[in-house]
Structure 1
Amino acid sequence: MTRKTDYLALVNQATDLISVLNSEGNYLFLNESHTAIMGSDLSLFMGKSIFNQIHPADRAVFQASFSLLQTQNKIQFALFRMKSCSGNWQSIKAHAVNFSHDPGIEGIVLVSQDVTELVTAKQQLERAQQRDSALANATGAAIFDWDICADKLEWVSGFYENFGYSATQSNSYEFYSKIDSPDRKRIWNEIEDGIGSSPVKMISSEFRFRKANGVLANVDYFGIFLQNQYGKVYRAVGTLRNISEFESHLQKVRRKNVIMKEIAWSESHIVRAPLLKMLNIIELMETNPDVQPNIKDLIKMVSQLANEFNNNIRGLGDQ
C-alpha cells in the first residue's frame, strides 16, 4: 500500500469529518463520518465544490479564508453552516492544513466537527438568560438559585442592577450577613423551616437588606424549596425585590390626596401602561415551552403580584 492509501484508510475511521480538497475547493476524498451529513453515497460529491454546500450567508467568509491557504500552511475557519442531506443547516467548526506539496496526500486536509447541538444549546441558554433579565428588569427583582447541599448561591440576574453587588456567586452566610441585624434571626428561622418542609414549600417575607453602597433597602423575598426523589430539600429558587422606592412612593401617595387623584385620573396612560406591558411579557413567558417548570412557578408568583398591583391601582379611582 502507498503512503497516501495508508493515510486515507486511517482517517476513514476517524470520528471527525475529514476531507481532502484540491486548491479550487473540490472534494478529492471524504471519510465515512460525512455520511451523517451528506448521506450514504459520498461518491456523489467527488469532484464537486465544497462551496456549494455552505450557507450563502457564510460562503464569502469561508472562501476568503480558504484562499489564504495559497500563502499559509494552516488556517482556522469561522463557524459556518453546511447543508445536510435532510436539507437542514448544520453548524460546522473546522480548520485546514495545506498538504498539496506532500506526495502522500496531495491536497488540502479539512478537519471539521458538527457542533450544531452545542450551538443550539448555547442559543437556548442565551434566550433563557434574556428571559431572566427581562423578568428581573420588569419586576425590579434579583433572581437567585441556591444549591443547598453545596451551599452555592447563584444570582441569575438583577443582583447588581438592584443591589450593586458585582459577584454573582456566594453562599448562605454571605447572604445572611447582609440582612439587617434585627431581622436576621427571623429570616434564618423561615429559611430553616423551608429546608425542613415537606412537601415543597414556598416562603415569603420582608426585611431590610444592606446594599453594596451601605444603604439599607426594604426588600420582599420569595423562595420555593425543591425536593429530590427521596423527599429531601436540595435546592431553592426565588426572588429578592427592592421595594424601598415603591414604599416611599406609596407613602407620598397616602399623604397627598391630590397626587393620588391625579394618578387615578391618568392611570390608564401613565401608571398602568408599563404594568400592562409587563403582564403581557409575563404571559408570553408562561406559555413559552422553553421555560423550565421551576421558573414557570416563579413567573406565576410574579404574575399574581402584578395583577394584585394592577387591581390596587384601578381601585384608587374608586376612592
Structure 2
Amino acid sequence: MCQPQKTVAEISFLLLKYLSKTSINDLGSWKKIFVILEKELGYQCIDFVQFSKFNYQICSNLSASRSYSKRQIGVINCLLENYKFEDSPGYFRKLDTPALSEFFDHCKADLLIIVPLFLRKNLEGALLIYSDKTPAKLQEEERVIFNFILSRLKDYFHSNNYKKLLQKRSECLSTIATDIQKRFELAAIASEILIYDWDLIEKKVIRFKRGNNKIWGYSSSKFNKGLFWNKLIHPEDFTKATTTLKLQLDNKTANAVTCRYRFKKLNGEYAFVQDKGYIIRDKEGIPIRIVGGVSDISDLVEKESELEVANERFSLAMKASNEMIYDWQVQKNEVTRSASFQKIYGKKNDQGSLDQWFCKIHENDRERIKTSFFEALENKKVQIWKQDYAFLINNEKIYVTDRCFILRFPSGKPKRIVGAVLDVTETKSMIEEIRTKNEILKDISWSQSHLVRAPIVRMQGILNSLDDPDLYFWKNDELFKIFKDSVMELDQEIRRMAQKMEDL
C-alpha cells in the first residue's frame, strides 16, 4: 500500500485541529474527517458502522461517501459476528468474499480492511476501509492514525448523545419485554395453563397465569420465589422428573422435554400436572433457557385410571370367555383379531383379509354367510349383523355365533366393523343332547298316557265287573286271563320306560 502523502504527525495534527473546532457529537464533523482521511491516505472509501448485539444498526454510517441498506448492514454485521478480530484488523478480498461483492463494485475496490472497535470488551463497531492498493496490510503509520480515530470515537460513545442512544435502546428493549410479557399472559389466558420462562444461566423463573386468579391456591408472588416449585413436587415423582430434565438438557440434539408429576396444592391435596418445555440452546448446544407450560391433567389421569381398570376387567373377562374380538378396516380390507384367537383357534393372532376368514367357513354355510354379510353392508340402515355357521379349524368343524356393529360414513358407506365371534360348539352339543332327551321324554310321556293306561283300564274294568251282577256272565278263568295279560303288559311297559330313563 502507498505511503501517505503527509506524515503521521502532520495528519494527526490536522485531524486534532479539525476536531478541536467542531463538536465530537456532530455526525457531520465525522463525515468530513473521513473525507480527509480518504484524500490524505489514498483509499477508495473509509467508513464507520456501529452495531449492537441485537443485530441492528444504532445509527447511520458516518461517511459522506456512501450509505448502507438494511440488507447490507446485515451482511457486514454477520461478518463482524463470525470473524474473530481480537483487536486486530481483518482483511477480506473480493474474490474470497462473494457476499461483499456489491460493496467492492460500488467502491471500485478489491480489498476491505475492517478495524474493530471494542468498548468494555464488546465489539461496538468497526472502521471499513476499501482499497485497491497493495500491499494488503496496513502500514504502522496508518495503524497509528486509525487508532487515533478509534480513540476519539470512544469519546463519542461516552458522550451525552450516545447515552441518549443507550436510553432509547433501553426503552425499546423495555417495550419489547413488556410486549412479550403481555403475549405470555394472553397465551396463558387462552390456553388456561401456567406458562413459564426459565433462564438457566441466571437461574431465574418467571411464570405467567390467567390474570390475578390463583392457581392451586397460590398467588403469583409465591410462584416466582426461588425453589418454591421444586419443594411442592411429590417426593415419589421428584427424582424421575429431574432425571428426565437432566437427560434432555445433556442431549444436545434434544429441544423439548415433557414429564408428568404430582404437585401439592395449598389445601394439601395433589394435582396431576403435565410439564412441557422447549429448550433454547446457544451455538455450542449448551441449554440457556426453557420456555414451557404446566397444565392440570387431574381429570385426564382419573379418566385414564378408570379406562385402565375397565380394560383390565375386559381383558380378564376375555380370558374366561370363548369370544374372539375383531376389527375390520373396510377401506384397507385388513382385519385385526384379539389375542384370544390363538386360545380359541390354536394359532397366533390373524391379521389377514376378510376373504381369508370366509375360506375357513364350512362350505355348506359359506355362500349363505357371504350373501347375508354383504347384503347387510349394502343396506345403509343395517347397523347390527348376526349369523350362526360352521367353521373349520385343522379340518375339524366347530360352530360359532358371529355378530358385529357396522360403523358408517355420513354417506352410509361402511367405514369400520367391530364384532365378536363366539365358539358355541359345546353349547350346540348340549342343545342336541337336550333335544334327544326331550324326544325320549316325549316318548315316555306318550307311553304313560297310552301304553300304560290301556292295561290299567282293562284291570279296572274287570274289578268293576265283579261287583256288577249283570256282568257276571264272564267266566272266572276268562277274567283271570285278561287280568293276567294286562298285568304282564303293564310290567313290560314299565320296564321299557325304566330303561329309557336310565339311558337319559
TM-score category of the 2 structures, normalised to the smaller one:
0.5 to 0.7
For residue 263 of structure 2, the aligned residue among 55, 58, 82 is 82
Q: Name the counterpart of 1:53.
A: 232
Contact 2:196 2:293 (C-alpha < 8 Å) held by counterparts: yes
Q: Name the counterpart of 2:325.
A: 143
SS of the equivalent of 1:79 reads: strand
Determine the C-alpha separation between the residues in 2 that align with 1:231 and 1:76. Answer: 43
The letter of the residue matching 1:59 is F
SS of the equivalent of 2:361 reads: coil
Tell me if 1:209 matches 2:392: yes
SS of the equivalent of 2:222 reads: helix
Q: Name the counterpart of 1:281.
A: none
- Aligned pairs for 1:125-274 (under 5 A) are 126-148=308-330, 151-167=333-349, 169-196=351-378, 198=381, 200-210=383-393, 214-226=394-406, 232=412, 234=414, 235-244=416-425
CA shift for structure 1 position 142: 0.4
SS of the equivalent of 2:225 reads: coil
CA shift for structure 1 position 157: 4.8
Contact 2:386 2:404 (C-alpha < 8 Å) held by counterparts: yes
Determine the C-alpha separation between the residues in 1 that align with 2:326 and 2:248. Answer: 49
CA shift for structure 1 position 123: 4.8
Determine the C-alpha separation between the residues in 1 that align with 2:251 and 2:332. Answer: 50
Determine the C-alpha separation between the residues in 1 that align with 2:248 and 2:417. Answer: 54
Q: Name the counterpart of 2:273.
A: 91
Q: Name the counterpart of 1:28.
A: 205
SS of the equivalent of 1:139 reads: coil
CA shift for structure 1 position 54: 1.8
More deviation in 191-200 or 173-182? 191-200
Determine the C-alpha separation between the residues in 2 that align with 1:182 and 1:52. Answer: 72
Determine the C-alpha separation between the residues in 1 that align with 2:234 and 2:321. Answer: 41
Determine the C-alpha separation between the residues in 2 that align with 1:50 and 1:24. Answer: 17
CA shift for structure 1 position 133: 2.2
CA 1:237 to 1:71, structure 2 compared with 1: closer, same or farther past 3 Å?
Answer: closer
Give the unaligned 5+ runs of structure 1: 255-318
CA shift for structure 1 position 232: 3.9
Determine the C-alpha separation between the residues in 1 that align with 2:180 and 2:347. Answer: 54
Contact 1:82 1:92 (C-alpha < 8 Å) held by counterparts: no
CA 1:216 to 1:124, structure 2 compared with 1: closer, same or farther past 3 Å?
Answer: farther
Count residues with an aligned counterpart: 248
- The structure having more radius of gyration, on CA atoms, is 2
More deviation in 223-232 or 133-142? 223-232
TM score, norm. by length of structure 2 = 0.37
CA shift for structure 1 position 144: 2.0
CA shift for structure 1 position 51: 1.5
Contact 2:361 2:389 (C-alpha < 8 Å) held by counterparts: no
Determine the C-alpha separation between the residues in 2 that align with 1:77 and 1:179. Answer: 50
The one-character-per-residue Cα deviations of 1:162-193 (angstroms, maximum 9, x if unpaired) are 23554564432232123233431122123134
Determine the C-alpha separation between the residues in 1 that align with 2:215 and 2:369. Answer: 56
Question: What root-mean-square deviation, in Å, do the aligned CA atoms of Structure 1 and Structure 2 show?
Answer: 5.1
Determine the C-alpha separation between the residues in 1 that align with 2:327 and 2:249. Answer: 52
SS of the equivalent of 1:47 reads: coil
The one-character-per-residue Cα deviations of 1:228-272 (angstroms, maximum 9, x if unpaired) are 597947354332133456778999999xxxxxxxxxxxxxxxxxx
Contact 1:82 1:89 (C-alpha < 8 Å) held by counterparts: yes
Q: Name the counterpart of 1:312.
A: none
The one-character-per-residue Cα deviations of 1:176-214 (angstroms, maximum 9, x if unpaired) are 12323343112212313433554544413031134xxx4
Greater relative contact order structure (CA < 8 Å, 6+ sep): 1
The one-character-per-residue Cα deviations of 1:120-175 (angstroms, maximum 9, x if unpaired) are 66555544543442332222210123354664433245223323554564432232
The letter of the residue matching 1:61 is K
Contact 1:37 1:85 (C-alpha < 8 Å) held by counterparts: no
CA 1:168 to 1:24, structure 2 compared with 1: closer, same or farther past 3 Å?
Answer: farther
Determine the C-alpha separation between the residues in 2 that align with 1:188 and 1:108. Answer: 63
The letter of the residue matching 2:419 is G
Tell me if 1:18 matches 2:196: yes
Give the % identical residues. Answer: 16
Determine the C-alpha separation between the residues in 2 that align with 1:227 and 1:61. Answer: 42
Contact 1:20 1:110 (C-alpha < 8 Å) held by counterparts: yes
The letter of the residue matching 1:45 is F
The one-character-per-residue Cα deviations of 1:251-300 (angstroms, maximum 9, x if unpaired) are 9999xxxxxxxxxxxxxxxxxxxxxxxxxxxxxxxxxxxxxxxxxxxxxx
CA 1:36 to 1:201, structure 2 compared with 1: closer, same or farther past 3 Å?
Answer: farther
Give the unaligned 5+ runs of structure 2: 1-168, 436-503
CA 1:7 to 1:152, structure 2 compared with 1: closer, same or farther past 3 Å?
Answer: farther
Determine the C-alpha separation between the residues in 1 that align with 2:324 and 2:392. Answer: 12
Determine the C-alpha separation between the residues in 1 that align with 2:390 and 2:410. Answer: 32
SS of the equivalent of 1:54 reads: coil
CA shift for structure 1 position 58: 1.0
Tell me if 1:109 matches 2:284: no
